[in-house]
Structure 1
Amino acid sequence: MLDPISLSAVSAVTTVLGAVGSGMANEAGKWAWESTGGFVRRIAGQEVPAPTTPDELDDVARMMADRFRNDPQLAASWSAFAARMNGGVRGAGGGAAFGSGRPSLPVPTRFFTDRKEALKTLDREASRRADGTPRLALVHGAEGMGTSELAVHWGTRQAARFPDGQLHTDLGASFGPEGVREPGTALRDLLRQLGVPDEEMPTSAAQLSEFFRRCVADRKLLIILDHAHSAAQVRPLLTSAPAVFMIVVARNPFPGLDAVRVPVGPLTDKDAVRLLAKILDKPALAEARAALPSVLARCGGSPYALRAAAPRLTAPVSAGSAGDDPVRGAAEDTYRLLDAATARLYRLMAVRAWPAFDAASAADVTGATPEDAAAHLEKLADVLLLECTAAADGRARYHYRAAVRRHAEAVAVREDGIAGCSAAMARMLTRYVDLSTSAAHQALPESWRVPAPSAAHGPRTYGSRGEALDALIAEAGNLVQAVHCAEEAGDPASAVRICRSLWPLQLKAGHHEMLLPALRIGARLADAHWPGTAEAGALHAQLAHTLTELRRWEEAETEALASARSEEASGHRRGHASATEFLGLLRLRQWRWREAYACFDAAGTVLDAMLPTDEGTADVPRAQALLERHRGRALRGMGRTEESRERLETALRYFRDHGDTYNTARTLTDLAETHLDMSETGAARPLIEEAIMTLDGQSAEYHVAYLRGMRERCTAEERRDTT
């Protein structure tokens, strides 16, 4: 058994390894991880696979602590290295600093009535003395009963209690056919509200939960988790931070969550009339007095149904009662008053649960002009058949309440028929194929992986690469839904084209949790319809990339190998080389340096065999230079620093000669790291300075911060050598 000093050493090493491992969302974090792997190999005297579980992390830490106990010089070397890694990760964003903005809730409903007991229950739980358990309330009630409105109203009223902000995320966002948001995606949404950039967030789901808890540990926050489906969905988002209060909003009081239950039922007739009195003026309410009993019966105490009914209170009410679904009843009453064009848009946009759509989408589906579609959408929002949100790109976007969409879909089947609904869905799919291929091609024009824009409809144009990428980001949820839609509609070609167009999102913007279900569908459909083809190889490669970034390395290996098999079988040499390179990059992440080097050599052999007529031939010189850089990284990990330096210098010459500033800076950084491994600070410093200058004006803050950390290490080592 280790003595207390050894236990302390193990804990310290574990902390460093864990911190470096959680920082791999940006390229600086990946450098830190590779450098750490090389240092671990030098300490162990042999290759040590990268730890992927807490137990494996502890095993590596114990091995290192044992070495340090017997070799004080080695311990001192590790301390200096750990300080550099911690400084580099923090400087590159690992400190999880909050932005200057104070997150706030959605705009609350103006007219709010009753719910005094529910508000008191929330008051009590929020002010409960901290005892190490989460301050947590589960607000539950049928759709349209105002559960979300209650949570937002309470939070707005209690804003002073939470000076660090109030967060809100929707756990029911329709990114898949089941309409359930993954916890990882929700955690990233909450962290963005806190001002944490994506590049600072850990990649694995387990690390992301822990990172979120650290971020909020000392904050006074309200967090509302809206439209929750289960305790399993909520549990990764919970925190026991003493000054954080969480409100979970759900349809039903699901089991498995240790929370105070806050039921929200129908309003009494007295409170329903009071709500109508707030919305209407007294003369209008008096005029409608005779109709009130039937209106109240049809609305069933639902605040949503009452607000929807208020503008038409003096109009004849449809026959029938609210039954079990007053929201549907209110939607039907409102629908009957719509003009034909607005009613058609209302029906056809509901054929699929799009997370958020705009006027351009509605125009494509209905055939209206964008201006007319915008007017119809505004009208539907005014009568509460749609809800409007402002998106990051400044466009108004709309979505349905779940019960309202079910009503609209049923009416579409009734009035437009299956053929009309299928045609509307096909038009939306065509839109997203056109949009995704055009935006992807313009966001990453040099990539052979991105499919060509659709020739039949003409490419959409964007002002810059950045605008094209922003368009993909804004539509990411809809694109994922479109892939599900294409699969269900029996249109594998559209599903695969959209999936291949996700490559710039994967490469430049992450969003891996959100994209993963769509990529799985794409790979499955490609295997089913185009087995052993370049199409299947491309989808497996994209899936391997996302799984690697999510640190699901065993699955990533399976997909990379599947990609290589498909590409080789199809004779697509460029894709075969790329898939083999992907496997090598995965091996670098796993600290399996020899296997990584073998993969890069194998990829180079495939590139050497390419013919002038092969797809991607023009890209071969750059691809070979990248492989040289990767070989240099693998050799550095193996401790073969002199050979590493030679490979990296070969790659650097190519990138410099061809004006590739991005890869020039990356290779300069690799070279500087290699010289630092050899304690050659004099040779490393000018490379670091050149890399910093190369990155000037390229929005590479994380990379530059990492380079500055390397420069500080040079200074520290030079001072130590002179004393």
Structure 2
Amino acid sequence: MSIGTAEGSGEAGRSLGTLLRAWRDRALLTQEQLADRAGVNARTIRRLEGDLVERPRAASLRLLADALGLDPREQDVLTAVARSQAVPAAEPDERDGDEPPEAIAPVPPRPRQLPVGVAGFAGRTGALEELDRHLDAGAGGTRICVVTGTAGVGKTSLALHWAHRARGRFEDGELYLNLQGFGPAGDAVDPREALGAFLEAMGVPPRRIPEEQAARAALYRTTLADKRVLVVLDNARDAEQVRWLLPGGPDCGVIVTSRRSLSGLITAEGAGLVTLDLLSRTESRDLLAHRLGRDRIEAAPAATDAIIDACARLPLALAIAAGRAVTSPVLPLDALAADLRRDGGDLGGLSTGDPATSLRLVLARSYDVLPGDVAGLFRLLAVHPGPDLTVAAAASLAGVDEARVSRLLAALLDAHLITEVTHGRYACHDLLRAFALELADGAAGTGEIGAADGAAKAGEIGTADGAVKAGEIGAAGAAGGAGEAAVRRAAADRVLDHYLHTAYEAALRLHVPAEWLLPPGPPAPGVRAESPAGHRQALAWFQAEHAVLAAVLRQAMADGRHAQAVRLVSALQFWLMRRGHRQEHLDCLRVALEAAARTGDQRARAATHRWLIPVTAERGESDQAYTHFRRALAYAREAGDLAEEAFSLFDIGLACVHGGRMEEALGHARAALEPLRAARLTVTEAYVLNLIAWCRCALGDHERALQAGEKAMAIATERGDESVRGHILDTLGMIRHHRGEHDDAIAHFRRALASCGALGHRYDEAEILLHLGDTLQAAGRTGQAAHTWRRSLAILVELGHPAADDVRARLPDHDLSPATPEPAFPE
């Protein structure tokens, strides 16, 4: 029998037997070889090629089609020919003589299971290029790529966008399945069921699908062995769930999305990895523009930026916000932004009635699968003021050792509930922080977030009374109640003590005299304060923790921990001052002044007023400086604190120097010596003697200036105080300069410059360079002087210091642009 239905094909009008012989000859196979490859009796093949089987079985034809490597069009022709020549017949074919005949079924259509892609997909250019690279057809072997990232970051959207764009590469179709790895407990798709669904999609009759999971996996791999199919495994829980669903053929591609990194697939199967971060601000604006229209966005740029900030650049949150704006077209964007920011940024404004898109529910699915101790640490992250933290800080937060907290952080990192922003520093975006705070407060309702309603899990971090028990992280007790509140208070105390004690140790490593610092007192149980090894490490610690310390200070004030706030500023201020953070230095001192007033501690009040004396004087606010001096001196004497009395006199002396009142400065410095010596503050005595030397030099009393300076240097050398040595060398250089001993002056300035430069004292470097330039100019070395002044100017410009104008005034005949620092001065 023959047909003529294969339109436009060379097979039109040919019989089934003729087609099978032609395809077998093309494949260079004998009938016996084809029988072996297809698993069909050779006699059946002879009868089919002789057109002797009036009712061919569909299963036999499918096996032959696969064995002959027929393309989809040829499979359609085979089905049409077999269907047209089939007639009722009593005899079965030879291979299945004991089975009833089966109606001819068409070769199954190619599966096209991809869900609809996201309209207006924005950004992610780099991630799409990574997917292209990992799933490149020339890579060889089954190509697998894991797309991972935090909840709501757009993993599925990216995977589907790429898959729709790449459909032409996979001519045999696309398989898609949501594995529900982070759905309600127990809802994750069983690999056995997933395999059954995929096999049916590929045309395997249900009765041919084995019951055993391993057998299903083998049949699945066989079915896809010579096909070019894209498999999208969405929302996977772990590598084991995915492994059963990986095809084995070289031409298939697999995209797996998961909130976990699935490092096992990367290690064992060589999968590629694409990790999605939050959108950039530009990408966030593009997303909103696609949803709301660019005109509406551009008409309210400030409100758009506020919405982006409130949504933390998280794609799901931005989509929810856009959805609210779309459904309420008369809602002004600034009103929407204000609503999203309400109550300090809770998640209420980002809730929807859809469990798949309500942000709180989406985040909860990541939290619900965490082990108890990991969940406890996540909740405590809301206690840390941010913006990021180290392993050591996390250990203090949790009250456990660093080895244990490292494992907990690794688990949160794998779940993408935190990110590693730089090596060893961890953070979570604002919406995750808000979610953690809701959990800790018990504010999230049980009806919405299920297991993530704040219920304490077995083995969690923290104990109800705040104690850290040996060998355990403990249980927090009733969530949202007194037990959880006590856990948070204890964690907050540990965090503050961690930074307070570490800042104190770091200040000492910066050669700040211990007598200038307010000691922090004993740390809370469980605090793992750091101890920088030396000066360089201390500088690096302050630099790395700069933003965190500002946040810790704000949190201490908000929590009423005023005494600790004063002590934190006591340690932090020296780094701020030396690095030239002038405005932040002043802001911190004002916070400390307020905190000290609330403590009622007379010494703290004296110290905080005293700290403001030189700062206000440098700003030209001499009346303010004297007001702070008088109050500091009064509080010190009221408290009977000789040290604070001496420090106040020293600081007003420095203020007078800034104002050019050298006689007055000298009087205050000399007055400071008596209480200093009574309090046995020898290190500070060196600073005061240096001030006396500077004042006497300025007043023209060079001999007595030199005596005071040399005595100061002897004390500094005996005490091993490196910080004051640079200042004394600078003073001795000035004395030599005024005595006309230019070579000696230049030598002293260079030594002073080396000392202050090694300690990272940027402003002091600029001041010494200024003095050195003056001496070089006086010695007739005009070119070197100009170069030196330009180096000073470069530092002062960098610091934004008003003294830069004084340096520019010295350069009327030279290039006023700041110089690039050079390694050495020419002789």
TM-score, length-scaled by structure 2: 0.44
Structure of greater relative contact order (alpha carbons < 8 Å, 6+ residues apart): 1
TM-score by length of 1: 0.49
Q: Select the structure that is richer in helix.
A: 1
